Amino acid sequence: MVTERIKTYATKYFNRESIFGSEDVIPLWIADMDLPGSQAISDALVERAKHNIWGYTAIPDEYYQAFINWQHRRNGVDYAIENFSYSDNVVQGILFVLGALFQEGDKIVVQPPVYHPFFSTISNNHLIQVNSPLIETDGYYEMDFDSLEMELADAKAIILCNPHNPVGRNWREDELQQLVELCLRHDVMILSDEIHSDLIHKGSFTPMKKLNDSHVITFNSTGKSFNTAGLQGGYIIFPDQALKQQFEEYAACHGRIGANCFNIISNIAAYDHSEDWFEDTLKVIQNNIDYVTRRLQQEIPRIKVRPPEATYLMWLDFTDYGLNDKQLLERCAKAGVGLGPGEWFGPGGGGHMRLNVATPKELLKEALDRLAREFAS
């Protein structure tokens, strides 16, 4: 069943005209779900709303403990509650950590094609972005450790997308261990964005905390796993109290808003009472990935696709059509499908589009029907 979202000011619908030049597109570009949410979260939010006063809200230990318990159950990792801090969302957390811990002109490494807000968190702090592009072979992406060895030598930090958005890699433990060894050798801090870490389809997830206790700052949120991005709120886990204190002082002076009363409630309900919902939803996502993969391979084989190991995002390769990025966006919009332009994600993104499969099967079917009419010939 398709839930109507247009009248809720949902970004993916509200911005169709400005991005695609038309409102007549199925929006599969932004990373939130069109699937029914957790009833436990809904019930908790309704109950909180009934209280009828929605004022300033403190952050209780339960907010952090719910996340800690979830990570222990799911990933076998134990976090210390005293090392947690709050951010309004993961991107703000990275932005403020970069501002708090590093100096203008410091070099920060990223691995494109990668989640594009990373770029602005670096530039807005007057830091220098250094690209270490991923190596792609037949749609499979790997870290370029020769490049990383060179770029990390005079860098201060690397922003790691773990798992990786948009290419869908769930990094193996041996890959991450090699990265950790390089960072320790060059005294480089790892800022690990783990917001997609629950959405694993192949292998098991390796939290960076498992591999290092001194050079890792972890960022997470219920935004992807439980589709609560509109409620804001996230987690930052520091390796020690000194770094946390630096961050807290900076955040207090630079516009961190503070706790959203509904986010506190929703996060606790998510981690403590929505695990069955999450498992059921993950199966829907995995079935949708299989469906999209099968149809593209059978009906539009010139659009190359490799099923993601993690996330609900699929990285589609249109390079066989020889279109530039503007032409590709226009062709997809003409077909009536709004996909995320690969050029947003930096070097290596050109000729690709990102597709969100966390949506009802009937919308995916219609979107693929439209793409087939436009690109199958």
pLDDT means over runs of 10, the chain (377 residues): 86 94 95 97 98 94 98 97 96 98 98 98 98 97 98 98 98 98 98 98 97 97 97 96 97 86 97 98 98 98 98 98 96 97 98 98 98 93
54-273 has CATH 3.40.640.10 classification: yes
Assigned CATH class of 6-38+276-375: alpha beta
For 187-247, the DSSP string reads T-EEEEE-TTTT-BSSS----GGGT-SSSEEEEE-STTTS--GGG--EEEE-SSHHHHHHH
pLDDT of residue 255: 80
First-to-last C-alpha distance (Å) of the chain = 31
pLDDT of residue 338: 98
pLDDT of residue 289: 98
**Domain coordinates in residue numbering, the chain:** 6-38+276-375, 54-273
pLDDT of residue 1: 72
d(CA 3, CA 194): 28
